[in-house]
Structure 1
């Protein structure tokens, strides 16, 4: 049976690559983003694009209702929309911090609420929440980003057990380094927010260390294939990880003490 998929953040990076891959595999794909002009290349591939702002309730309601009106169901939700707003916790305005969580956490949560009635009705569904290795371990200057992803991990764990009796799987994807707009956006904000404060020296070193590893980041298609694997697994795992340093970093997090992990992280920027 043909499955209907909604992917948020489909205008770039992992979201766009996932939309392309799943469309090639015969899924009915809806790509959602604020910037519909950046999804024009998806239309010739049979991907249906819709404007959606995950910070606007009416926008999300309208998008889901449009898919249901067209298809009669919504089988798979991929909560991919997100960004990283970097800067020292002391420096980041709380309004910006709230917006970070609004996009990365509450938008995903609200879409889960909107699609679950249709998935329960069909006794089948997949919810894929795109977290990060930054949902398990934290670096300086990413406090609000990490807060959003740690929260998404916890939300997913609760939701997974709530909806399992209805035949619905909740799966977390934890990318490591992946080539995307995310890095430039995150570190532009770091420079803007903390580049001229008491944290200037450390922030500069952190940005330089990050920039030095960017060329090692994985291509977005790697994560797209991982998402497909998770969707199609008969008994999916709760979590899948891939991308630059994903598995080594997560293994280290399990293995070493917080104090030692702090030393390892800080050794990279001192």
Structure 2
């Protein structure tokens, strides 16, 4: 039986992915800081781990536990992450660093920890949950988009680096999804730049984020992750969820200034 580790599994995409992988026959380790939020998964037979992706000791201990109990790791789903929004001049540098700690360095450290085991097996798959935000950009989202651009570049390099060892690296690019992410992003946005010079942009962007009820259910992304995990020859990227494909298409074909105008025009609807 194949063994999977899913981070950020206490809610949203991570919780749904752990559930769907379990249904698909994987031995699933669901990892998150909030173990009590994973009681539903545990009741279904998913193994839960307390793990903080900003705490090296907890990541090392988690991977050691998986190897001790199951003897292998076949699939790593790096899903843990959040969106920190606010005008760049307003966001403390400490918050920018923490955004990278969660979204990039935690992901990178887990890759470092599981790759030796996958190399020894001569097989494995790493699925990094990025975002359409790894290819596009927004005002007031400089730190968040920087982390997702980093995940995209890191994943591309890893794909080539790990190919000789039978390890695949896949990127998932969700669009708008009904999770806690939007609420957290809006909360950070209002707290950081709700007043002052950027108040109008904050109003527009928070209005756009409030349309989360139009987003796709987390299961849409979970199903794509399971597909990527089981494919004999997975694609390098999977875009899914509300708006993902048309937005990425527009970014590919439009010059920067045209994309800027399109995005700012969309924002003005929420003025």
Map of 2:130 onto structure 1: 131
Alignment of 1:96-245 (within 5 A): 96-211=95-210, 213-245=211-243
CA distance in 2, matches of 1:202, 1:233: 42
Map of 1:260 onto structure 2: 258
1:40-82 per-position Cα deviation (integer Å, ceiling 9, x unaligned): 1111111000100000111100000000010111110000000
Map of 2:8 onto structure 1: 9
Give the Å deviation of 1:210.
2.5
1:172-207 per-position Cα deviation (integer Å, ceiling 9, x unaligned): 000000000000000000000000121011111221
Task: Give TM-score, length-normalised by structure 1.
Answer: 0.98
Map of 2:25 onto structure 1: 26
| Cα root mean square deviation, aligned | 0.6
Give the Å deviation of 1:209.
2.5
SS in structure 2 of the partner of residue 248 of structure 1: helix
Task: Give TM-score, length-normalised by structure 2.
Answer: 0.98
SS in structure 2 of the partner of residue 198 of structure 1: helix
CA distance in 1, matches of 2:11, 2:208: 24
Give the Å deviation of 1:216.
1.1
Map of 2:50 onto structure 1: 51
CA distance in 1, matches of 2:9, 2:91: 27
1:93 aligns with 2:95: no
Deviating more after overlay: 79-88 vs 196-205: 196-205
1:228-249 per-position Cα deviation (integer Å, ceiling 9, x unaligned): 1111111111000100100000
